[in-house]
Structure 1
Amino acid sequence: QKMSLWAVAEALGDAGLAGAPGRTDGRAFDRDRCAVIMGNAMGGEFEDLTSLRVWFTEVRHTLEQVALRQQLDAATLERLVRTLETEFLAKLPKITEDSMPGELSNCITGRIANAFDLRGPNFTTDAACAASMAAVQAAARGLSNFEFDVALAGGADRSMDPPTYVKFSKIGALSPSISAPFDARADGFVMGEGVGILVLRRLEDALAQGERVYAVIRGIGASSDGRGKGMTAPNPRGQRLAVERAYEEAGFALSTVGLIEAHGTSTTVGDNTELQVLTEVLKQCGAAPRQIPVGSVKSMIGHLKSAAGAAAIIKSALALHHKVLPPSANFVAPPAASPLHQGYLQVNTQTRPWAEHPGAPRRAGVSAFGFGGTNFHVVLEEFIAAAPSAAPGPRSVGVPKDEVSKPNVRERVVALIAQSTGYSAAELQPELGLEADLGIDTVKQAEIMAALRQAFGLAPDSALSLAQLPTLQAIVDYVEGASAGTPGPEVYVFGGVHPLLDLVVARVVDQEQLERPAFDAAAEQQRHARGHPRGIQRRLELGTGRHHRFADELRRLEHAGHMLDLAGPLVGCAPGQALVEHA
């Protein structure tokens, strides 16, 4: 808990956020909407130590029984027992009212929330050595669902006591000499202790606050092994599922990744299984052998167990931010049967620049696996800030009206999206779904919208996202209307269980109230379009939470002044519809 408090203070400072309410050491943020989610599996050594004190009565009883059988006199026996008790218990922590909360793993996050006055949800996740990656997944999901606006996520582990060493030794997991992932000398891991804290935000919120972005989470895959050899044995089926699910969510293939931060524990079976799974996935997506750099932070700082996933993500995010391929230590040569010999992966042993590939951002894949058959893989992508305009004109006008023509706008929009995504212009057909067909999700929206605003001189609008514009044609229509100076009505969109599907017009302001036939026709048009009608100037995506989330978002809109001058329709779906109808 103490290590975690220090790490959180460092992380908040690095993010430029105030460590406590009223302090001037950083920007203020809404502490009501800041979550704390940490991975931890074993709590720490204090529980073992206090348990020894509790169980000493059994030791005393056993000693007395042995002494009586040896016919020791009562005085000698009492003196022996008291001496042992005094000297033994003096080495153990006393049990107080603080003992239990000091030992419970969930009090790690509770202590952080208490110390920094954070009032969002706080809880711990336990996925053994993948615990901190489970915490990051929970935080990312909560942010995507607008359950909170900032998340402190990561892991903490300081289980370095004799029982932990003995138990890992019985499994045969510890090395007596060195941590050398993927090397022929690999014979187990070396334990470490530490805390890793990530400050997570939605990308659009971070950009709106002018915050530094180290990397963007594009996808997270998780799986269980199911039935296998045992609870501690690596299972290629489960690992593969986690990797495949991560890239399915990201919308691109593992072959586009330029760095893989493996779980890499330096165990012979574990390393070989992981490398074989990665190689098979690369083969499946049609990749040619190109020796993608692979490494493991465990070669440098040991295996942090519950915090291992956080350490791996931090290493990879820094690599993306600094555009550097970091080395993996202690690697000399792979075993004879290693999948490395197939040429798809290569252990990177030297710090070197991370070369840029035109039209494609740098990407990294990060894995963490835990006892019990739990597997996680996180896909990270470098953040590419939009270049500032050399000579910005009026914010409402960028392209002269006589230059705004459909072919001109279409060509320029297609060129910008092609540059951002790596697709060729010929592949970007108007009817293609941006998310379903092209993989342009809400994470990518800020980068592309910034480029469009710069190119066409559109007024900045943090509420507009490409995820709201389901096709290339929808983007072209939007830009044509905005660039020509003829914006359509303002529309407020409330995403329900599945945003962009079955959108219906729930209510319009009094002067635009639709009759029932017109209402039905508009609803049918929305369903077929799977998006927004031509000419809409702005949409507000308010998340995919349940009913209570919509009330919160309405209050946020009202606080921002949007609800005081509604001049356009409200659009909603699923549970959001009922609330919108009464807005």
Structure 2
Amino acid sequence: GILSFQDAMRAAAARGTEMGSVDVPDPGLMAAIGAPEGSVLETIGQIDGYVIAANRNSPNSTVIAGETEAVRLAMKALSDAGATVIPLQTSHAFHTDIVAPANGPLKRFLESIDISLPDIPITANVDGSFYPSEAKDVRSAILGKLAPQMSSPVNWIDQIRTMHAAGARLFLEVGPKRALSSTVNEILGGDVKSSTTNHPKVGGIATFLGSLAFLSINGKQPIMDEWGSEILSSEFRSRPSDIDMAPESKDLEALRIRSRPLPTAQRENSIGHHVVAPDLMANSADLVARILAEETGYPANVLEGRVDLTELGLDDSKLSRVVEKLSKKGKFTGSKPEQISVVEDLVEWYGSKTTPEKFETAISEAPVVSGVSLGVPGMSEVFDEEVWDAILAGRNLISEISAEMKQKLVDKRIVRLVKSEDGTSRLVSADTFETVPQLAGIGGVFDLIEQYGIDPKLVEAFDVATSLAFASGLEALRDAGLPLFPIEQTNSSGMRVIRRWTLPESERDRTGVIFASVFPGLEKAIEHALKENSSEESQFDRKYLLQVLSMGHSQFASWIGARGPNLAINNACASTPAAFAIAEDWMARGRCDRVIIVSGDDSTSDTLMPWIGSGFAGAGAHAMGNVVEEVALPFDARRHGMLLGMGGAGFVLERLEDSKDRGVMPYVELLGAEIANSAFHPTRLDTDHAASVMESFVSRMENRWGLERSNMANRMTFMSHEPYTPPRGGSASAEVSALRHVFGRNASDILITNAKGYTGHPMGVGLEDAVVIRGLAAGVLPPVANHMVDDPALGTLNLCKGGQHELDLALRHGAGFGSQIALTLMRRLAVSDTERFDIDRISNWTLEASGGTNVDLRVIKRKLVAYVDADENLVGGVAGEKYSPEPISEPMASPTPDENIRPSAPQTKVKTPEVAPAAKPKSVGLKIPSDIDDTRVRVLKIVAEFTGYPQEFIEMDADMEGELGIDSIKQAEIMAEIRSTFALPLDEEFQLRDHPTLAHILVYISSMNGAQTIKQPDSTTQQAPDAPVPNVNSTVIAETVKSKSDEETLSRILPIVVQHTGYPQEFIEIDADMEGELGI
């Protein structure tokens, strides 16, 4: 009541004008500081120059401001002390003496308008006390607190404490989001309660109604005054009343409907038994929700499942319009179906009418990673079976290069750029072994022909990067339990021969491939150039173009028959996480249902090391020295350069329902990914921009999944890019700065891990992605290598020391030459990195996809393949080892709505692994176990948190919906939180309607103790024993030969045909058409 509404608007405009027009020699700086208030005040008190606490927001959040140089000194001192320091982009140092010249003009303006005593108590931010409620000279009394506020510090802490001292216990934030209410809780602790009135995540109307409920529950019943009541402002009374707005009553009714809790209905009849593919159901649900939202006004993300259509206001005419819109989208003619009562019925009907080709809508579910492979240097084989044990245990895989290779580097006459600690640089000639690279991650045995059985003629067209990526893809497919199927040819005698292995036909069109590599084709290009300059005479290789082009994506897709989207990416060392972002986009747009990411680079080969090693040494980025423990130093104060490595990594990303339908528990789900470029420098990182990208990404993840960054630190690992480049402008500084910018003081709690300290830098290979995915599922993460000396510039860090770490989130950062940035956030799904497979379900899925009567899963040359009906005239029968992965032993933990992940967009409903059913509690004669007091307390706390009810108000026998007013959606959220808190297994048979009270929930929790194993589905198909090899009589072929000379000629021709085609000799018929039948 101090100012009228009109005058308040004019005063705000005048304040902004005067603040913006202040003209002073030094406009000053402002910075937000995350640290205890006492330490901030103590630090700035020791700074020469003018710097003050301009905004005292909370005990751990202060904004400092003042003269430019003084603030800069304070920022450095506070940062060195471990505080989070964020410069603020303001034109002047507001709330300081610097903007005092604006006080005079503002005061003169305020003296020209009407000023009154407040109608309700109001605190002033100048001194934190109340404005006077009575005064002889009203204007002077009010202006004494109001006029100087531009140049006076904001004492928000004092304001809150003043209100609390006056008896305030309920705080209601008027304005968007919850910044102020969160500071209230931090200032006063648990002695008060607060609520918001307009939070974007929840929705304006819902938050406002929730605030009214909050007041009512806490004894402050809102009063709706009559339209003409004097308590309403004149501006509000000047609006037309409800009676005057009768023509708009329809709109008001729509608003009232949108404000109600959503209705649900019991299912009585089904519209029919339609088998709808999971991906169609996902698209159907999304499209139906969006069209219903257009028709009803409800948010699309709640229009799913058992929501009653009539309660939404859908009469026959409106439902007919919905059906018409759906028909147009699906490109079919449809009339209003019978027996449609809930949203789920509409989804099933639409899905049954539609085919995959008719969908072009976005998918909002998170992709999952079901298969991972990793090839590293320093082991007997690149793709070694012991790779996971080695890398997760922190085994060094870096070795000293040969004297011959060192001499090659010396012969390059490198001039190194050497950077000093003071930031200066000098050029130094590298003319001895000590001044060139001496350590590297060098690959072991790798042969795509011998180890993987790939056709030598095909491999001749590959560069080493393509070969490594190719192998990584085959390894990842096996790890995903996704077998390759035979492409067969049958001769006129009925004999069958396997010509190649591909994905099953049903999967080929919906599978994409991305190839990530930094130096694809370069090794072959150099080899050809060196050969051209040598004295050796030879013909020009007609495969040259295939060898030097980046074709790993197309070559691999061609071999496995993947006909979906296909591309190569070179984002330097950020290539693989950037590929994850592209894969996420493809799947979200519905371009495909699965993406296989393959990556490979070998910069330490005999051909590339002299060139790539010299390049990094010349740029001043490569480390010198031949003792690994003194050179491979991630996050260590002694770090002075990177080491080169090599390898390959593959990943299978797909939809959750596809992975679980196949019987494979995914490692993680990809909650999101980000690609950005700082447009800054070819080789250096823009620290500020990298921090802003991470800030934007984490905010997006919070909004999409209901995460809170304040709760992420102690459940998350940060997989760093850090290649231990020099401190100034290096990766470690940029990554730590970004973490502190985004997570504040909680950054010191985040478990930081690293992989390059054991392998060297593998360039575009997804080393970190593979390690963190597998490590997260295993609950084991590698220690940061060789760390001994803390870097004071980085502050306190929680560097991983190896061993067990049961975390569920992983933030991965990738950076590359050319200012490339890539980020991913993943959540753990599997409870083991090995025990993920239901072999019966895999076999049944394979049998169904094959269309045969029997399948035999085998591993041949490291490839997982499926023999189909091998006992029916298949030449050679089956080969390889029986496929026997470790069976799944524990169900996937279910995410909770708050502490884990709550998607804010409609999510696809998927089948979860079956759980041994628990006994259902009876609805009458309910007896709560006597030893359940602790459970009762924890359940009450959860319900109170989700509903806002005081715990003492909630009765255990109260009906949750009928008496407590908790709708089914909120009940589901509460139950998800309970399931996570008590580590309850998933229960397909659980029904909320069977558990109407909290007493029922307590009994259910008690009954579920111990139900922790997945029920294996019965196998509908018995594996046939290994089929005998057909006895093919080769004399059948010879019967067509007319003479002995023909036989001799034939005996010489057949081996030639076998050599060039790969057909078994006994398969080839003399009268077979070479092109039409043999495919030659």
- Taking structure 1 as the reference length, the TM-score comes to 0.59
Q: Where does residue 164 of structure 2 map in the other structure?
A: none
Q: Are the aligned partners of 2:782 and 2:803 in contact in 1 as well (CA < 8 Å)?
A: yes
Identity of counterpart residues, as a percentage? 21
- Give 1:393-412 correspondences, 5 Å limit: 406=962, 407=965, 410=968, 412=971
Q: Are the aligned partners of 1:9 and 1:19 in contact in 2 as well (CA < 8 Å)?
A: no
Q: Are the aligned partners of 2:512 and 2:562 in contact in 1 as well (CA < 8 Å)?
A: yes
Q: Where does residue 455 of structure 1 map in the other structure?
A: 990
Residues in 2 aligned to 1:398 and 1:115: alpha-carbon distance in whole angstroms: 55
Check if 1:103 corresponds to 2:554.
no
Check if 1:296 corresponds to 2:740.
no
Residues in 1 aligned to 2:480 and 2:514: alpha-carbon distance in whole angstroms: 17
Residues in 1 aligned to 2:586 and 2:770: alpha-carbon distance in whole angstroms: 20
Give 1:163's aligned amino acid: W
* CA deviation string 1:546-569 (max 9, x = no partner): xxxxxxxxxxxxxxxxxxxxxxxx
For residue 347 of structure 1, the aligned residue among 796, 799, 819 is 799
For residue 152 of structure 1, the aligned residue among 596, 616, 629 is 596
- Give 1:206-355 correspondences, 5 Å limit: 206-226=659-679, 228=680, 230-251=681-702, 252-255=707-710, 256-257=712-713, 258-267=716-725, 268-269=727-728, 270=730, 271-283=732-744, 287-288=745-746, 290-307=748-765, 310-337=766-793, 339=794, 341=795, 343=796, 345-349=797-801, 351-355=802-806
Structure 1 residue 420, shift from structure 2 partner: 6.9
Q: Are the aligned partners of 1:243 and 1:376 in contact in 2 as well (CA < 8 Å)?
A: no
Q: Are the aligned partners of 1:180 and 1:331 in contact in 2 as well (CA < 8 Å)?
A: yes
For residue 517 of structure 2, the aligned residue among 35, 40, 53 is 40
Q: Secondary structure at the match of 1:135?
A: helix
Residues in 2 aligned to 1:389 and 1:169: alpha-carbon distance in whole angstroms: 57
Structure 1 residues 16 and 398: alpha-carbon distance in aligned structure 2, compared to 1, 3 A threshold: farther
Q: Answer with 1 or 2: which has the greater Rg.
A: 2
Structure 1 residue 118, shift from structure 2 partner: 1.6
Structure 1 residue 20, shift from structure 2 partner: 4.2
Q: Where does residue 496 of structure 1 map in the other structure?
A: none
Residues in 2 aligned to 1:140 and 1:398: alpha-carbon distance in whole angstroms: 42
Check if 1:365 corresponds to 2:807.
no
Give 1:246's aligned amino acid: F
Residues in 1 aligned to 2:539 and 2:646: alpha-carbon distance in whole angstroms: 24
Q: Where does residue 617 of structure 2 map in the other structure?
A: 169
For residue 641 of structure 2, the aligned residue among 167, 188, 192 is 188
Residues in 1 aligned to 2:467 and 2:617: alpha-carbon distance in whole angstroms: 28
Check if 1:414 corresponds to 2:858.
no
Q: Where does residue 378 of structure 1 map in the other structure?
A: 824
Structure 1 residue 155, shift from structure 2 partner: 2.0
Structure 1 residues 246 and 21: alpha-carbon distance in aligned structure 2, compared to 1, 3 A threshold: farther
Structure 1 residues 41 and 399: alpha-carbon distance in aligned structure 2, compared to 1, 3 A threshold: farther
* CA deviation string 1:479-528 (max 9, x = no partner): xxxxxxxxxxxxxxxxxxxxxxxxxxxxxxxxxxxxxxxxxxxxxxxxxx
Check if 1:2 corresponds to 2:467.
yes
Residues in 1 aligned to 2:662 and 2:992: alpha-carbon distance in whole angstroms: 21
Give 1:237's aligned amino acid: D
Q: Are the aligned partners of 1:17 and 1:25 in contact in 2 as well (CA < 8 Å)?
A: no
Structure 1 residues 280 and 245: alpha-carbon distance in aligned structure 2, compared to 1, 3 A threshold: closer
Residues in 1 aligned to 2:696 and 2:978: alpha-carbon distance in whole angstroms: 26
Structure 1 residues 25 and 154: alpha-carbon distance in aligned structure 2, compared to 1, 3 A threshold: closer
Q: Secondary structure at the match of 1:239?
A: helix
For residue 202 of structure 1, the aligned residue among 655, 668, 675 is 655
Structure 1 residues 153 and 45: alpha-carbon distance in aligned structure 2, compared to 1, 3 A threshold: same
Q: Where does residue 44 of structure 2 map in the other structure?
A: none
Residues in 1 aligned to 2:708 and 2:721: alpha-carbon distance in whole angstroms: 19
Residues in 1 aligned to 2:990 and 2:616: alpha-carbon distance in whole angstroms: 58
Higher RCO structure, 1 or 2 (CA under 8 Å, sep 6+) = 1
For residue 528 of structure 2, the aligned residue among 50, 62, 72 is 50
Q: Are the aligned partners of 1:150 and 1:201 in contact in 2 as well (CA < 8 Å)?
A: yes
Give 1:415's aligned amino acid: I
Q: Are the aligned partners of 1:13 and 1:25 in contact in 2 as well (CA < 8 Å)?
A: no
Structure 1 residue 2, shift from structure 2 partner: 1.8
Structure 1 residues 401 and 17: alpha-carbon distance in aligned structure 2, compared to 1, 3 A threshold: farther
Q: Are the aligned partners of 2:719 and 2:812 in contact in 1 as well (CA < 8 Å)?
A: yes
Residues in 2 aligned to 1:281 and 1:223: alpha-carbon distance in whole angstroms: 17
Structure 1 residues 254 and 220: alpha-carbon distance in aligned structure 2, compared to 1, 3 A threshold: farther
* CA deviation string 1:422-465 (max 9, x = no partner): 9xxxxxxxxxxxxxxxxxxxxxxxx99x958542189xxxxxxx
Residues in 2 aligned to 1:260 and 1:171: alpha-carbon distance in whole angstroms: 28
Residues in 1 aligned to 2:709 and 2:756: alpha-carbon distance in whole angstroms: 22
Give 1:413's aligned amino acid: A
Q: Secondary structure at the match of 1:305?
A: coil
For residue 560 of structure 2, the aligned residue among 116, 119, 133 is 116
Residues in 2 aligned to 1:289 and 1:125: alpha-carbon distance in whole angstroms: 32
Q: Are the aligned partners of 2:518 and 2:572 in contact in 1 as well (CA < 8 Å)?
A: yes
Give 1:197's aligned amino acid: G
Give 2:775's aligned amino acid: A
Q: Secondary structure at the match of 1:118?
A: coil
Residues in 1 aligned to 2:709 and 2:960: alpha-carbon distance in whole angstroms: 40
RMSD between aligned residues: 3.3
* CA deviation string 1:394-442 (max 9, x = no partner): xxx99979999555764642312434789xxxxxxxxxxxxxxxxxxxx
Give 1:189's aligned amino acid: M
- Give 1:21-36 correspondences, 5 Å limit: 21=486, 28=504, 30-36=507-513
Q: Secondary structure at the match of 2:821?
A: strand
Structure 1 residue 174, shift from structure 2 partner: 0.8
Q: Where does residue 917 of structure 2 map in the other structure?
A: 391
Deviation >6 Å, runs of 4+:
23-27, 397-404
**Alignment size in residue pairs:** 379
Q: Are the aligned partners of 2:599 and 2:648 in contact in 1 as well (CA < 8 Å)?
A: yes
- Give 1:418-433 correspondences, 5 Å limit: 418-419=977-978
Q: Where does residue 573 of structure 1 map in the other structure?
A: none
Structure 1 residues 414 and 151: alpha-carbon distance in aligned structure 2, compared to 1, 3 A threshold: closer
Residues in 2 aligned to 1:399 and 1:245: alpha-carbon distance in whole angstroms: 49
Q: Secondary structure at the match of 1:378?
A: strand
Q: Are the aligned partners of 2:669 and 2:827 in contact in 1 as well (CA < 8 Å)?
A: yes
Residues in 1 aligned to 2:471 and 2:590: alpha-carbon distance in whole angstroms: 28
Residues in 2 aligned to 1:236 and 1:35: alpha-carbon distance in whole angstroms: 34
Q: Are the aligned partners of 2:469 and 2:648 in contact in 1 as well (CA < 8 Å)?
A: yes
Residues in 1 aligned to 2:614 and 2:576: alpha-carbon distance in whole angstroms: 24
Residues in 2 aligned to 1:94 and 1:36: alpha-carbon distance in whole angstroms: 34
Q: Where does residue 581 of structure 1 map in the other structure?
A: none
Q: Secondary structure at the match of 2:621?
A: coil
* CA deviation string 1:134-155 (max 9, x = no partner): 1111111111222111111142
Structure 1 residue 292, shift from structure 2 partner: 1.8
Structure 1 residues 123 and 27: alpha-carbon distance in aligned structure 2, compared to 1, 3 A threshold: closer
Structure 1 residue 201, shift from structure 2 partner: 0.5
Structure 1 residue 385, shift from structure 2 partner: 4.1
* CA deviation string 1:226-246 (max 9, x = no partner): 3x3x32111112322332233
Q: Where does residue 76 of structure 1 map in the other structure?
A: none
